[in-house]
Amino acid sequence: MDWFTDINTINKIGQRITTFFTYLQSNCSQAATEFPYIQFNEALHQRFCDILICDKNSSEHGIRFRPLAGNSIFWFNVNELGLGDHLTYHAGRPPIIENGYKIGLNTWTHNKKFPMN
């Protein structure tokens, strides 16, 4: 999850409101970013199989984004009340090929100006 639960952190730097994750480089196809609590729905998601992993196990997993260089994923970390949204719990899966890699960039927006000191 990308939202904070520690009140001291929230008071100091603010809550992470959104996440923008971009794949910069990768040499693998199975090192997905998975959102296990967002159920894969074949009728809804089948048309996005160029960016999602759509296989025989998809209905048993959450949404899984392929690590394609240049692609980005955006989501809100908190709901309209400012509480953490558990549907955004996610995991970056490791490459399954030897010497596989993926490099990504996280950008977070906060509800406070980030202190520079």
Task: Please provide residue 19's backbone torsions phi and psi, each rounded to the nearest 5 degrees.
Answer: -125, 140
Q: 41-63 b/e with 16+ CB inside 10 Å = b? A: eeeebeeeeeebbbeeebeebbb
Q: What is the pLDDT of residue 47?
A: 94
Q: Is the pLDDT of residue 57 over 90?
A: no
Going through the chain in order, the beta strands assigned E by DSSP cover 16-26, 33-39, 62-65, 72-76, 91-92, 102-110
Confidence of residue 26 (pLDDT cuts 50, 70, 90): very high
Q: Is the pLDDT of residue 29 over 80?
A: no
Q: What is the pLDDT of residue 34?
A: 95
Mean pLDDT estimate for the chain = 92
pLDDT in tens, 72-107: 999 999 999 999 999 999 999 998 888 889 999 999
Reduced to 3 states, what is the DSSP secondary structure of residue 114? Answer: coil
Q: Is the pLDDT of residue 114 over 80?
A: no
First and final CA of the chain: distance in angstroms?
A: 26
Confidence of residue 16 (pLDDT cuts 50, 70, 90): very high
Mean pLDDT within 51-61: 89
